[in-house]
Amino acid sequence: MVAQPSVSPQPSHAVLTEAFGAALEFARDLAPLTSYKTGGKARYFLPVQSADDISRAVRAARRLGIPFFLMGSGTNLLVSDDGYDGLVIRMEVAGLRLVDPVEIEAGAGEQLMDLVNFATEHSLTGLEFAAGIWGTVGGAVYGNAGAYGGEIGDVLTGVKLIDQDGRLKEAEAHELGFAYRHSVLKETREAVVLARFRLTLGGQAAIRARVAEILKLRSERHPADACSAGCFFKNIPDAREDHGKLPAGRLLDQVGAKGMSVGGARVYEKHANIIVNAGGATSKDIRRLADILKQKVRDRFGIELQEEVQQLGRF
């Protein structure tokens, strides 16, 4: 969720603290808050735990002419080495609860894996595909996260949102324009606060087994402890392929991507669509390596890869 008005001149610390509250931080290092562990500082940083907190922060930022960005867990984010010259609002809205026997309401700041576990504990099936996907519920809705033939949009029923003017609103799932790794929230820049999911009662043993199976598959191809953002590029829609998608990793494998590196950034040896910080990487290294990979696929196949990873700041 980004706004880009001018930020000069900067309000005083006293004015900012009065507008945003005592939780406001100045010159916050963002690298430790991202899975890549790269990037610079945010001029301002504010954690928020409720819809009211978010609304007040957005309204204050608009009033003061400060650009703002809503951040989840930072697992799908590449922050510029120069940082972000505005306000980063970190979503920490928590809570998981059953609202009826087959419907779960989740705070946008909850980890997606915690939602999968909550559904499993209540013998609810439909979210197993999301096992092992990094990130928050809000980020998963924003990008229509998916894997193994399932997507968040398949099980979402509705959301509560904050718009760019700080107003709280509700929307049904069909209004969010879900497509592959996409929702209209990417255009409207509205922020998810709460999400509701309708699932199906199932056998807990079978659900646990499927979750375990997917986690095992992920562990075989995804780095468990490396600094990465998962798949860097989106798969390519293709009705001839399984689940209607041509894996970007297959194309990258064919152009020799595995093991390629720029500075401290390297393509993971077991998955050609994953870039890792192998030690000492900068965001510029990661971006340069991604550009080289895109060019190789473009030259070989005439296909323009699209990023799954979101960027913040100037590159």
Q: Spell out the domain ranges in the chain.
A: 13-91, 96-205, 223-312
Q: Give the per-residue pLDDT at 8.
A: 52
Burial (Cβ within 10 Å: 0-12, 13-18, ≥19) of residue 259: exposed
pLDDT in tens, 28-63: 999 999 999 999 999 999 999 999 999 999 999 999
Whether the Cβ atoms of residue 136 and residue 72 lie closer than 8 Å to each other: yes
Q: Which residue has the tokens 């059953």?
A: 98
CATH of domain 13-91: 3.30.43.10
pLDDT in tens, 248-289: 999 999 999 999 999 999 999 999 999 999 999 999 999 999
Burial (Cβ within 10 Å: 0-12, 13-18, ≥19) of residue 171: middle
Q: Which token pair is 313?
A: 């700041």
Say yes or no to pLDDT of 4 above 50.
Answer: no
Say yes or no to pLDDT of 189 above 50.
Answer: yes
Provide mean pLDDT across the span 220-238. Answer: 89
257 vs 138: CA distance, rounded Å: 31
Architecture of domain 223-312 in CATH?
A: Alpha-Beta Complex (3.90)
Q: Which token pair is 275?
A: 């870039």
How far is residue 250 from each of residues 148, 236, 270, measured CA to CA in Å?
Answer: 16, 11, 12
243 vs 246: CA distance, rounded Å: 9
Q: Give the per-residue pLDDT at 3.
A: 47
User: Confidence class of residue 140 from pLDDT cuts 50, 70 and 90?
Assistant: very high
Q: Give the per-residue pLDDT at 7.
A: 44
How far is residue 224 from each of residues 168, 213, 234, measured CA to CA in Å?
Answer: 37, 16, 21
Whether the Cβ atoms of residue 267 and residue 294 lie closer than 8 Å to each other: no
CATH of domain 96-205: 3.30.465.10
**Residues in Cβ contact with 262 at an 8 Å cutoff, skipping those fewer than 6 apart:** 285, 286, 288, 289, 292
Whether the Cβ atoms of residue 141 and residue 173 lie closer than 8 Å to each other: no
48 vs 1: CA distance, rounded Å: 14
Provide mean pLDDT across the span 233-240. Answer: 92
92 vs 252: CA distance, rounded Å: 35
Provide mean pLDDT across the span 124-139. Answer: 96
216 vs 235: CA distance, rounded Å: 21
**Residues in Cβ contact with 46 at an 8 Å cutoff, skipping those fewer than 6 apart:** 20, 21, 23, 24, 25, 57, 87, 88, 89, 90
Q: Which token pair is 139?
A: 């980020």
Say yes or no to pLDDT of 314 above 90.
Answer: yes
Best CA proximity match to 159, nearest among 107, 122, 124, 199: 107
Work out the percent of the chain whose per-residue pLDDT is above 70.
Answer: 97
Length of the chain: 315
Lowest mean pLDDT across 76-90, 231-245, 290-304: 231-245
